[in-house]
């Protein structure tokens, strides 16, 4: 299940589960849109993959009781994550991959 992380791993701004500005890579590394666009340039500094808008988990359990889904049953994570990479390292990774389409990385 997708880990709905509570913050941008780069600038630490809050990203609520319904934030339309949240971006993720395939490993769920999570960033805000400004960092994803202006700093990372669509390159996850950890895995090198592209970043896409994070899906928004619905608040309501529309299929309950057949299936128990939605934020009430699967709440967002409260564990804040922080990128382990230095700004210099991130800049190098971005420069290396930003001109390669994610499907070609
Ligand atoms: Zn950010
Ligand atoms: Zn990643």
Instruction: Tell me the per-residue pLDDT of 14-52, one tens digit each, with 9 for 90 and over.
Output: 999 999 999 999 999 999 999 999 999 999 999 999 999
Which structural domain, as residue segments, surrounds residue 11? Answer: 1-100
Q: How far apart are CA 95 and CA 14, in angstroms?
A: 27
For residue 18, the CA-to-ligand 2 centroid distance in Å is 21
Task: Flag whether the pTM goes above 0.85.
Answer: yes
pLDDT of residue 45: 97
- The predicted-structure confidence for 63-104, as pLDDT tens digits, reads as follows 999 999 999 999 999 999 999 999 999 999 999 999 999 999
pLDDT of residue 42: 98
The verdict on residue 105 lying in a domain is no
From residue 19, alpha-carbon distances to 13, 30, 78, 94 in Å are 11, 12, 15, 24
Residue 52 is inside which H or E element, if any? strand 52-53
The verdict on residue 31 lying in a domain is yes
The verdict on residue 46 lying in a domain is yes
Q: Which residues crowd ion ligand 2, with CB under 5 Å?
A: 25, 27, 29, 44, 46-47
Domains in the chain, number: 1
Ligand nearest to the CA of 43: 2
The verdict on residue 12 lying in a domain is yes
Pair of tokens at residue 43:
């390159």
The verdict on residue 67 lying in a domain is yes
For residue 68, the CA-to-ligand 1 centroid distance in Å is 32
């Amino acid at each position: 299940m997708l880990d709905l992380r509570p913050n941008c791993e780069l600038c630490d701004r809050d990203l609520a589960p319904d934030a339309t500005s949240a971006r993720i890579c395939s490993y769920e590394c999570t960033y805000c849109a400004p960092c994803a666009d202006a700093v990372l340039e669509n390159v996850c500094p950890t895995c090198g993959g592209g970043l896409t808008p994070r899906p928004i988990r619905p608040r309501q359990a529309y299929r309950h009781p057949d299936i128990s889904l939605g934020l009430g049953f699967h709440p967002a994570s409260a564990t804040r994550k922080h990128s382990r990479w230095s700004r210099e390292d991130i800049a190098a990774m971005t420069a290396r991959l930003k001109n390669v389409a994610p499907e070609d990385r």
